[in-house]
Amino acid sequence: MIIGNGQLANAFRNSDSHDVVIFASGVSNSSCTQLSEFKREEELLLKSLEEFRDSKFVYFSSCAISAENYKLNPYYLHKIDMENLINSRSSHPIIIRIPQLFGCLKQHSTLINFLYNSINEGKEFNLYSDAHRYVIEINDIVKITNRILQKEDGKFLIDVANPYRYSVMEIVDIMERLLDKRARYSIIDLSDKYELNLKNLLEFTANENLKFDFGKGYLLTHLKNKVGNRK
List pLDDT tens digits, range 56-82.
999 999 999 999 989 999 999 999 999
- Round to whole Å and give the CA distance between 7 and 141: 12
Give the C-alpha separation, 181 to 219, whole Å.
18
Residue 218 CB: number of other CB atoms within 10 A?
19
Q: What angle do CA 157, 17, 210 make, to 5 degrees?
A: 50
47/41 Cα distance (integer angstroms) = 10
Instruction: Return the pLDDT at 230.
Output: 56
| Whether the Cβ atoms of residue 7 and residue 103 lie closer than 8 Å to each other | yes
**79 vs 73: CA distance, rounded Å:** 10
Q: What is the pLDDT of residue 117?
A: 93
> What pLDDT does residue 28 have?
77
- In 3-state terms, what secondary structure has residue 172? helix
pLDDT band at 204 (very low <50, low <70, confident <90, very high): very high
In this prediction, residues 119-129 reach a mean pLDDT of 95
Q: What is the mean pLDDT of the chain?
A: 92
The pTM of this model reads 0.93
pLDDT confidence of residue 153: 83
pLDDT at 19: 87
pLDDT higher than threshold 60 for residue 229: no
Write the burial class of residue 87 (CB in 10 Å: 0-12 exposed, 13-18 middle, 19+ buried): middle
Buried b (16+ CB within 10 A) or exposed e, 152-181: eeeebebbbbbbebbbbbbbbebbeebbee
pLDDT in tens, 127-183: 999 999 999 999 999 999 999 999 888 899 999 999 999 999 999 999 999 999 999
CB 132 within 8 A of CB 219: no
Identify how many contiguous H helices and E strands the chain contains and give both numbers: 8, 10
